[in-house]
Every structure is written in structure tokens, then in C-alpha cells.
Chain A
């Protein structure tokens, strides 16, 4: 199935990313640029209480203000719409766009005000009087787990959304037989990808056509379906305009509650309505926080550092409503042993509700936290055995000749060459010299250390975690699609059926189709029709588009190429196997007979009498592609998750001035293998951006709630994003192990860098402070925490560990 890399004309070449042109000129088309005739604007009144009964809402003063059109409460909206979808089978955990009856987190949206301008709507929210009766609340996951904790959803009976234990392989026997064990806890703090563009949506309702038009900053599989269900309208009455550029998403721009709210208002008021979240609405009530997860890990290993088995308990704080958050405990099952030959695993996945904001899918869908736990385990095995950290990794890595490799939880890894990537990175760095540099820094009075992390990026997403965690869900299909049309003048137009948030999908499909049809990619037009004109697709999640959209484009182009060859062969009176295709033309091998692109197009469009019998006129093809591998329901708690597995290996040299506690990255190198790269610029950008994201998660970013249940990091003054000062220059060492399951051997790279950077940075800091006898077991590791711990250690105080 894989093509020969040497034969590529356009794939893997340093071609420009076509999308960039409009953005550098300020001519992107973002949702805030959508201006509809007569459009009204929404502002939100949030709850100030983490939990409270809504006693009354008095909107009279707001409604009396000139320019204010409507004040919407949760009760009205809930009566007119169905609850938002839950991932798990938890029907009593009902979620609506506005709080119904009670609020469940501070910042939850209670009232929506509609006015002629956003400023007026904001003014009016201040005039809405809501009377609350505070209720008990719970913020901490371990407290939420206790039977006596205040239930966030009393009807559900407890705060437990999910508590499932998987045992893959002979865990007990392996633990019994292993001479050495260790246990530890690490905690992944609540952060998110926080795009610079907040979520926004505009909607209009046409009662004469029964049509809801939606423009949104969206990255959401089955978005139109979910809108239709919630609004109780036919799915073919929802038209989502996919030509809206999305100003960053990295997983979180799911926007269902915002869309249902705005769509209801548009229908109710008969006017287009728009909601562009401001930063506060986005941070505290946009329902876009990421995983917040405690890992308790037990490892069984031997004196040679060979890890035989692991027990992982992952407790996730989902926030106030279920949504898809619990599934973020399921996806990492597809790479639960990382790049290692660990023979058995026990995995307990627990998700609880709390009075915090709702979680949404974040880049990696739970994989980065899991990788942090696994890599911490490997470092601890190294420390326990006295072996070098890299040596333990090398001994446990799956070897190149062992692929395809079946892991205990049921996924088969496609390909990889981890040892070679590590060797290449070490050669690039001169690792011995880096160790000398670390020692020199230490001798100069600094704390210095090196961090390593090796991990996988499962890619080509399906949703196999859904039936795995919810047996009522029988989804095994997770397709993507592409349509190609060659018009009567020979120009090529391609449709893709998703929004993009910077991943360069237009460049991707043009490159792939240019490659197959051997035509200049820059001459191919790529458009995004509205959702009613779309083929089935599942949006760019789970690092899937190079594999799935690239694959669909490849197959659609192959169909057209075959048709052109049939047309050509027919003119020559030959069988299709007697002609060749080159540069858009068809010819016999000796070149005596040939037809060029224009002639073939002309025949297809205008000379029906010259077409082979039974052939459809015109030149058009579609392909709807299912995810390679998988396609089966889980069995015995095992399932094939994603088809492809990219590998990354991070090395970080860190220095900390003990007087300041500020971690300074002196060198950052990442080895990266995502198989065949379709566009090197795009993969490089994903990787560098992923490292920056990981740096934020490791050192800076956290949604922190105080004891009263209020979010205290809700602006960019408090929730710190890495700037150009914090992000180091990152060196990338490439390797290419093609995947056997994809058309060019490509794998995914949409999460690269992010999946290993937090583990590597954490490890580097812990290597820095190890001589002081301290370590950090919770992310983010802030300057203040480092400074305090160093000071305490220097004064001989025991370290206070994170709870």
C-alpha cells in the first residue's frame, strides 16, 4: 500500500503552506468577521457560586434598557431544547447551555442577554438580579470520590462518572514474580490549550426555508448532528458554514453549548444572533478546561531495569458535567505501555464530577498526562536500579524487528525504530558533552540537570474508546472524505468537509492530489462546502488528517487517474493495462500514441461518443475512507485504538539558579519520527508548537480554584502563557519509519512535542534538584514552588509534597 518515498514529486518537499497567504495579509475569515444583516449580540451572566440553587431571576431592569432585546434563562432554554450529549451512559448528569435550577460551578452561564451591541448586552447583564441559595460544593477529586461528598448532580447518586478497572495480562503473577516494586503518585494540573481566539458562533434561522445557518469557530466531530438533536430539528435543516477559519483550537473548540444557546435565540427572535466569548467567559465558563488527573502507579521490575508490569490508577476531575471528558481516560489505553515491552497492565480509570468548569478534549486527549506518568515510572526504575535513564529505556523499548507489535490492551503498533531515533538524537547532541556541560553548570553553583522522555503519539483517530467505556455505544466507523472535480476547462477543484484551525489541510490535499495526478498542486483549488453539501467526515481530531484526509484524497485521485487511463486506452483501442499515465496524460509505452490532459478532459466533458460504454461523463470522484485497522467492537476490555504511532524522544538541559528558583532551559532537542512527512513546514510547526504547549503545562499554566470555589487564574495576568522569552530554541532530529497502514507511509503529528515535553521538562527539573533530596510530583512546577522547595531543603526542612 505504501508508495516509494524516493519517487515523490511534491510529498515531503518544502513547499509553502497555501493557507498562510491570506493570514499574513489579515484576510483570514474568522467567526468574528462574520457580519450578518440585523445581527444581535449576546453577553453572559455567570454564576458567582460554585454551587447554588437559583431562587429567582429578575430581568425587568435589563429588559427596560433601550437596545436590549431579550433575556434568556436556563428554564426557558431547557424547555425548548434537549440536553447536550453525554459520552458515557450517565443520563442523570444532564447538561444544558444555561444552568437549570442550580449552578454547579463558579462561572457557569446562568443568563444570556441579547442586545443591539455586545457592549449594551454586557451593560444589561449587570442589571439582571439573580437570587441564589448557596449549596455545599466539592472541588477536589479525592474528596468528590468519597460517598459523603456533596453530589454535584444529586439525581445521579454520587460524583462517580466512571470507575472501571481493566486487567490486561497476568498482572498479579508478574508482580509476584518481579523482585522489585516501586510506587509513586504524580498529578497533572488542570490546564488547557487556550487558543488566542475565544470560541465564537453566529446563527440565523430562516422560518420560510426551515433552515438554521451556523458560522462557528469549531473543531467538533458530528457538530451539525448534535445541534439538530438538541434543537429537535432535522439534521438537514442545519447548515454549518465550514469556510470559517478557526483561530486555534488544539482540541477544545467544541462549542455545542454555545451553539445551541445562540441557535435557540436566533430562532426565538427571528434575527441573526452572535456570541463571541470574551476572555473571562472563555476561561471560566467556556467549558474548555483540560484533564486534571492524579496517577497512582505501581511498577514491577527486576535488577536489570526490565519493567514487567504496571498498575496505574488514574483519577480525573471532570468538572461539573460529563461531556466527553471521561473518554480522555480511555484514549491512552491505546498506548498504555508507551514505547515499552511491558507485558501486563492493570488500569483503573476513575472520573468524578466536581464544582469546577467542564472539561473538553485537549490536544492528545489524555495522552500527555499518561505519558508523564509512564516516563516518571521509567526514571524511577532507573534511580532504583542505579542504571542510566537512557539505558533503562533502551532495554525496555520495543525493537524495530518486533513490529507490528501487539500491546496488552489490544492495540497493535504499526512501526517504529526507537533505538535508532535515540541514537541519532544522542549523536546530534553529543550526549557526553551535554553531561559535561551539566557538570560544569553544577560546579558553577547552579542546579543543573538533564531530562529525557520517550513517548508515542497514537494517530489516525477512530473513537474506539467510546464503545470501550460505554457498551451502549457501538460506533466503529470514523471516516473522512474527499471529492475531486475536474471541470470542463481542465481545472481541478477539491472539496474537504471540515473546518481547519491551522493544520494546513488545503495544502495537504493539494499536495497529495498533485502527487497522484502528477499536476502542479498550486493549481488545485481547495474549498469547504457547507455541511449540507459535505461528504461524511469527523473533523481534525486525534492527529488524523494526514492519514485520513490525506488517504481519502489519495484514493479519490487514484479513481480519477484510473478513469483518465480508461478514456485514453479506449481511444487507442487498447486495454487499460496497455497504457501508462504521466504528467496528466495517457500514452502507450513506446510513445506512439498519447493524449494530454486537455484532450482527455475534453473527451470526458464533451465527447460522449468517445467514452467507453457505460462510463459516466465528466470527471468527478469521491472517496469516503474508514480508519485503517480496527473497525471492531472491543472484546474482553481490549480494542484496537488508533492505527499509527509516531515516536518522539526529548532531551532537555536545564539550569536553575537556587536563589531564584527559575528553571532555564539551556538546550532542547527532540527526535521525531512520524513516518513520511507530507509537508515538512507543517510538521515542524506542529512539533515546535507542541513543545511550547508542553512547556506551558509543565511550568506555567493552571486553572487554579481557591477554597471558596472560585477560579483565580482567569485572565492572562494569572494564567500564564509561554511567550517567546520562555520557549527555547528547539532542535529537531528527524527520522522516518513509514507506517505500513497508510498511503504514503505517513503518521500523525498534530500532537507531536506536546505529548512528551511535560515529562521531559519535569524530569530535567527533578534531575536538577535531586542532589538536594527533593523532587516535584505535580505539574505545573512553578518558579515559586521550586524556589520554596530549594530554600526549605537548604534549611533542612522536609519537603511538603503536593496532595
Chain B
């Protein structure tokens, strides 16, 4: 069936079998290979994408269900070809990965956290990435990466568009804390 999806800020239409997952559609119909299949039953988080800014397992969502939502994949985070977002760069700085397979999902979960939370605690970070299984790192350098990214984003004083959400700041509270 015909589906209209908005992915990484661009509109896409495709004729997609109703049973096809968003994960398979992203990879096969839209050639966005950064989203990875891990368990395909909603546990490992390798397939994480953002749906309206919130982390979602794309293996548990049909592509047709995504009609009308704003989908962000890992390909949507880099500001330009060859350039990295602050969070992506932070993962490079601390080596918050090894094989790179869980990394896109991990970074999207971290991205969602830092959109909501200016000064996350270690527990906030642990909670935010707890739905993303990494078999290589033991999470230590991932947590360091998110802490490092949070600090750099605070210094950069960049307004963040999202608000509310499960780990979010209270409505009306400033996104960037005044020093």
C-alpha cells in the first residue's frame, strides 16, 4: 500500500507491503542502511530510530504505522557529508563503540536524552541507553561519550527543540541552564 513518510526532514512515498516493518522499509525501500537489525523482537535496540523525537524500535513498528510521523535515522544526525554532530563526535572522542553495529541506535537514544535533558546524571544516561544492548564496550565509554556530549552542548548554548518526554524537563523550564 502507498505510504507517505517523512524521514530526516524529507518526504518520501513508497508502495510498501502492509506487513513490512519500518526497519525493513528504511533499509530496503529508502536505502538507509544505518538502521540495523539485531534481534527483530524488540529487545536489543539496534534498530532504534526516533519517531517524533522519541526512540522507537523500528523492528516492532510497521512502516505503514509511521505514516504522518517525523522519522529520524542515524543518517539524519550528521549536519553535512563528512561532518559529525556533537554527540557523534563525542562517541569518537571517548571510543564509545567497537564494532559499530549497535552504535546508530545507541547514538539516537543518547540524542533523544540530550534533547530533553541538559545536565543528565549518570543514572539518567544509564536509563536512557538501557534499551540498547552493546556487546563490545561494557557501556563505560558510551556513558563517557554522552557525558562529554552533554557538557559540550551546554557550552555551545544550543537551543534544543524537543521538550517534555519521559526523562524530560518540566514544561516551561529553560532548556539551557543559566550559569
Residues 717-764 (chain A) with a chain B CB within 8 angstroms: 717, 721-725, 727, 729-730, 753
- The interface bits of chain A over 1-42 (1 if a CB of B lies within 8 angstroms of the residue's CB, else 0) are 000000000000000110111111111101011000000000
Q: Are B93 and A25 in contact (CB under 8 A)?
A: no
- The interface bits of chain B over 63-105 (1 if a CB of A lies within 8 angstroms of the residue's CB, else 0) are 0000000000111011000001000110111110111111110
Q: Are A248 and B43 in contact (CB under 8 A)?
A: no
Whether, in the assembled complex, A250 has its beta carbon less than 8 Å from a beta carbon of chain B, the answer is: yes
For the complex, give the distance between the alpha carbons of A24 and B92 in Å: 8
Chain B minimum-CB-distance residue to A754: B138
Q: Are A689 and B78 in contact (CB under 8 A)?
A: no
Cross-interface CB contact of B74 among A19, A26, A502, A503, cutoff 8 Å? A26
For the complex, give the distance between the alpha carbons of A191 and B141 in Å: 25
Whether, in the assembled complex, A247 has its beta carbon less than 8 Å from a beta carbon of chain B, the answer is: yes
- The interface bits of chain B over 124-156 (1 if a CB of A lies within 8 angstroms of the residue's CB, else 0) are 011101111111111111110000000000000
The distance from the CB of A681 to the nearest CB of chain B, in whole angstroms, is 4
Q: Are A681 and B95 in contact (CB under 8 A)?
A: yes
The distance from the CB of B143 to the nearest CB of chain A, in whole angstroms, is 7
Whether, in the assembled complex, A494 has its beta carbon less than 8 Å from a beta carbon of chain B, the answer is: no
With most chain B CB atoms within 10 A of its CB, the pick from A17, A23, A502 is A23
Q: Are B135 and A279 in contact (CB under 8 A)?
A: no
Cross-interface CB contact of B135 among A21, A27, A193, A715, cutoff 8 Å? A193
Chain B, interface size: which category?
A: 35 or more
Q: Are A688 and B36 in contact (CB under 8 A)?
A: no
The distance from the CB of A282 to the nearest CB of chain B, in whole angstroms, is 9
The distance from the CB of B93 to the nearest CB of chain A, in whole angstroms, is 7
- The prevalent SS among residues of B at the interface is loop
Q: Are A717 and B41 in contact (CB under 8 A)?
A: yes
For residue B74, which residues in chain A have a CB less than 8 angstroms away from its CB?
Answer: 25-26
How many A residues, CB 8 Å from partner? 57
Q: Are B34 and A26 in contact (CB under 8 A)?
A: yes
The distance from the CB of A774 to the nearest CB of chain B, in whole angstroms, is 29
The distance from the CB of B132 to the nearest CB of chain A, in whole angstroms, is 8
Whether, in the assembled complex, B115 has its beta carbon less than 8 Å from a beta carbon of chain A, the answer is: no
For the complex, give the distance between the alpha carbons of A151 and B136 in Å: 38
- The prevalent SS among residues of A at the interface is loop
- The interface bits of chain A over 695-730 (1 if a CB of B lies within 8 angstroms of the residue's CB, else 0) are 000000000000000000001110001111101011
For the complex, give the distance between the alpha carbons of A760 and B67 in Å: 51
For the complex, give the distance between the alpha carbons of A392 and B61 in Å: 56
Q: Are A685 and B137 in contact (CB under 8 A)?
A: yes
Q: Are A684 and B141 in contact (CB under 8 A)?
A: yes
CB within 8 Å for A688 and B140 given contacts A26-B34, A26-B104, A248-B135 = yes
With most chain A CB atoms within 10 A of its CB, the pick from B33, B94, B127 is B33
For residue B125, which residues in chain A have a CB less than 8 angstroms away from its CB?
Answer: 724
CB within 8 Å for A723 and B100 given contacts A16-B92, A25-B84, A27-B34 = no
Q: Are A197 and B138 in contact (CB under 8 A)?
A: no
For residue B136, which residues in chain A have a CB less than 8 angstroms away from its CB?
Answer: 248, 502, 685, 689
Sorted from nearest, which 9 A-B pairs have the closest CB atoms? A26-B34, A23-B100, A247-B101, A502-B98, A502-B99, A26-B74, A692-B138, A688-B138, A681-B95
User: Chain A: residues with CB nearer than 8 A to chain B?
Assistant: 16-17, 19-28, 30, 32-33, 119, 193-197, 245-250, 276, 278-279, 501-504, 681-682, 684-686, 688-693, 715-717, 721-725, 727, 729-730, 753
A-B contact pairs, 17 of them (CB 8 A): A24-B91, A24-B107, A26-B104, A30-B33, A247-B36, A278-B40, A279-B40, A501-B99, A502-B136, A685-B137, A688-B137, A723-B133, A724-B127, A727-B138, A727-B139, A727-B140, A730-B138
